Structure 1
């Protein structure tokens, strides 16, 4: 497993892949790999200018790549519904859905267009709604669905009575940890429900380790979150981090490895899973709490008004 590289990816010709947040960072690196392998790739993101730039970059590196941008703002459930409706109208079965987009440790509490706390709403709730709305196309293709979690899930807990931190004092890291724990629990619970309902999905998750992207610059670096930890991280970055391209490999593995099973989780294989070649990752016990996952699912359906099946 530790010798796996992009050369081991099977041909993806004929497959339709949707990647959220694919105009930069991990999402763009994932799109580059899958486009090179012949997949038809939809770059689902909120900035058309960056979308056009991402399309040009991918085609420059891989002439003839089948790639296109489609507008998706995960901070607005109306945009999620509109995006899903366009896919449903087209009627093309979706082979791979990668729920990659996210925000990290925003310095102050912000809200989405629907009033959800921004990290929980963007990282998790909108992906929950998107997957549910696309379910008919995913089941037609017996799709692979990949949720992007994080090492941060290890310290996370789900505040079922205050998911949007309306009563609890807002702190950037605990809120981020909750959102990424929710994503991992979503992957595992989606697998449970797929098996029970006969949806024939393969639901997995991945994390990038400590990848050098602009996610930190747009979140923790602005807030000063972590203080000494952030300063130490910057000092040690050359030794404990890897590139965005390497950070995308666990996601690509989860999306394409033929032997992936429902509920699998992939990440870097180095010390503390911060960097290194991709392979199986550690799932902390709270992510396997089936009762919390059931209640989180029910609350997510209520908040988004999206009901599966």
Structure 2
């Protein structure tokens, strides 16, 4: 794995990948890298115009790339269901589902379904999407589900008694909760896949500190010019590029040696550098919390996972 880059991605011809939040940041870089290796990439974006602009940028670099743009708003269960129906009508396989999209450290808001926005988008939206596409994923040999978490999962807790943090909301507490939720979901899903005897694997990755639009959006949402300035300064002086930040999730998605339930991040103190295997916070492996969160997620989204399909 030493100094692993996009040059090490195996040939992806014949594979289909769905990437959420593909119009910018890590999702854009992941789309670009997989398309360059021959994958058929379905780029999803909440904003069709921004998605189209991103697709066109990739096409300018890779005229022969196999790309499609589909609209998906992870803050809306109706949009998620519509996307899943459209995808399943078009495609009979799904090799890679990369649950990448997210929002970070924003003021308290709720989705159209009444979920706190960060938990709703980062976890519940991806939980529902995965469940609605699971049959197609399971029917695809050696398929993978990659959930993008964050190093900030280490400060996260699932507040079952106040899931939306309405009693005491802080932007980073909500973000950290959503990011450890990504890991509980990853590990519980892997346990269920193993119990099924499936060759599909569930893995996770985080980018460290990468200069994406997440920081700018977070800062501007506070209305503080100082926050905007400080994020810009940190992105310039401390952060690695978004292309480098995408390497751990690309490794998780494509490296032949990856095993289910593994977690990858940058090699240098978890902040920057080439991808390496990491151990998540001990609490992220708690089976009881993961099972409870799974049940709550099914109840909130109305999406029940069906572990009946067999993988070839």
Fold shared, TM-score > 0.5 on shorter chain: yes
Q: Which runs of 5+ in 1 are unaligned?
A: none
Matched, 1:241 2:226: no
Shift of 1:245: 0.5
Aligned residue pair count: 304
Q: Distance in 1 between matches of 2:206 and 2:2?
A: 16
Question: What is the aligned partner in structure 2 of residue 181 from structure 1?
Answer: 180
- The corresponding residue for 2:253 is 255
Is it true that 1:303 corresponds to 2:300 in the alignment? yes
Residue of structure 1 equivalent to 2:309: none
Aligned to 1:116: 115
Contact kept in structure 2, 1:185 and 1:293, CA below 8 Å: yes
- Counterpart Cα distance in 1 of 2:136 and 2:161: 33
> Structure 1 residues 59 and 236, CA, compared in 2 at 3 Å: closer, same or farther?
closer
RMSD: 1.7
Tell me how far apart the structure 2 counterparts of residues 98 and 276 of structure 1 sit (CA, whole Å): 21
Bigger mean CA offset, 172-181 vs 49-58? 49-58
Q: Whole-Å Cα distance in 1 between the matches of residues 207 and 91 of structure 2?
A: 32
**What is the CA-CA distance between 1:95 and the residue it aligns to?**
0.1
Is the contact between residue 209 and residue 273 of structure 1 (CA under 8 Å) also seen in structure 2? yes
Deviates more, 1:283-292 or 1:199-208: 199-208
Summarize the alignment of residues 28-67 of structure 1 with structure 2, pairs less than 5 Å apart.
28-67=28-67
- Cα deviation digits, residues 211-254 of structure 1 (max 9, x gap): 001101111453279x89x9776555445310001100111000
The aligned counterpart of 1:276 is 273
Q: Is there any run of 5+ residues in structure 2 with no aligned partner, and where?
A: 307-312
CA displacement 1:19-42 (0-9 Å, x = unmatched): 000011110010000000000000
Cα contact 2:216–2:231 (8 A) shared by 1: no
Secondary structure (helix, strand or coil) at the match of 1:259 reads coil
Q: Determine the C-alpha separation between the residues in 1 that align with 2:283 and 2:18.
A: 29
Aligned to 2:310: none
Q: How does 1:1-309 map to 2 (within 5 A)?
A: 1-106=1-106, 108-141=107-140, 142-166=142-166, 168-223=167-222, 235=233, 237-270=235-268, 272-309=269-306
CA contact (8 A) 1:74 1:126 kept: yes
Which secondary structure does the structure 2 equivalent of 1:216 belong to? helix
